[in-house]
């Protein structure tokens, strides 16, 4: 994990039998590889993360074939109050291009059209190529066509008993190379959705909901990702 988890996250992980090991650098990720970690869990609740740090942690995990899960929040803070870099810049650090001829490819999974359109515009302004899917079935079909460098999805769309995109990434040998960023709109009033389009409310890696439902879904997803 990076950074040290907040108490509720620590408890949720411990309840499910995980032993969080805190890392601060690429070297510390490398040092943990012999213990076969289930995943690198980046959850910037207790401290901001820079583009350089995020890129370095991702590179270390990919080199060691360890899947990466990053959590985020939607509408949890104003642009002025959020700390850390522009979210689109941070996401770009997670999705390096695989050639000079193609921009980074992001698969965005969200059934809410307003949220999907706003996030797409934000990412495309930073030069990322975005493909949108409203359902898990659509996501798998798009992934087959585009081979994403990064998957960004609404946590609430991860089904408890199955996660088609995770299964697809694993079956195609891409799970350890394609970070997943999950966010939740928990706590975001439906009436505030229009603020996404104006840029007043955006995706923040430094904020997210800590409700029991959200924590449970994150741990469930970690279990899916970490299953070899």
> Mean pLDDT, the chain, as a whole number?
85
When divided into structural domains, the chain yields a total of: 1
Task: For the chain, state the CA radius of gyration.
Answer: 16
Residue 29 domain-assigned?
Answer: yes
| 21-25, 100-104, 131-135, 150-154: segment of lowest average pLDDT | 100-104
Residue 2 domain-assigned?
Answer: no
- Structural domain containing residue 198: 7-225
pTM of the model: 0.91
Is a pLDDT exceeding 80 seen at residue 159?
A: no
Residue 155 domain-assigned?
Answer: yes
**Cβ-based neighbour number of residue 189 at 10 Å:** 9
CATH of the domain at 39: 3.40.50.2300
DSSP E strand stretches across 24-170: 40-42, 68-71, 73-74, 105-109, 129-133, 150-154
Whether 46 and 10 have beta carbons less than 8 Å apart is answered as no
Residue 154 domain-assigned?
Answer: yes
Residue 1 domain-assigned?
Answer: no
pLDDT at 202: 67
Residue 135 domain-assigned?
Answer: yes
pLDDT at 41: 95
Residue 175 domain-assigned?
Answer: yes
Q: What residues contact residue 210 under an 8 Å CB cut-off, 6+ apart?
A: 6, 8, 9, 45
| Cis peptide upstream of residue 223 (ω within 30 degrees of 0) | no
Q: What percent of the chain clears pLDDT 70, i.e. is strictly above it?
A: 83
């Amino acid at each position: 994990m990076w950074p040290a988890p907040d108490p509720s996250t620590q408890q949720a992980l411990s309840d499910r039998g995980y032993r969080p090991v805190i890392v601060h650098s690429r070297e510390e990720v490398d040092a943990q590889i012999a213990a076969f970690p289930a995943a690198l869990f980046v959850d910037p609740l207790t401290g901001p993360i820079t583009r350089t740090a995020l890129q370095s942690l991702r590179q270390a995990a990919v080199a060691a074939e360890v899947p990466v899960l990053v959590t985020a929040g939607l509408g949890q803070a104003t642009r002025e109050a959020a700390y850390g870099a522009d979210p689109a810049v941070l996401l770009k650090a997670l999705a390096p291009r695989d050639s000079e001829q193609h921009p980074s490819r992001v698969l965005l999974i969200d059934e809410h059209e307003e949220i999907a359109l706003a996030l797409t515009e934000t990412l495309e302004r930073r030069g990322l190529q975005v493909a949108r899917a409203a359902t898990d079935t659509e996501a798998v079909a798009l992934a087959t066509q585009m081979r994403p460098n990064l998957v960004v999805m609404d946590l609430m769309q991860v089904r408890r008993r199955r996660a088609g995109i995770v299964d697809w990434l694993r079956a195609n040998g891409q799970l350890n190379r394609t970070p997943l960023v999950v966010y939740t709109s928990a706590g975001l009033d439906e009436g505030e959705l229009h603020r996404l389009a104006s840029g007043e409310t955006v995706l923040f890696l430094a904020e997210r909901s800590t409700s029991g439902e959200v924590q449970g879904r994150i741990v469930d997803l970690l279990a899916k990702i970490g299953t070899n």
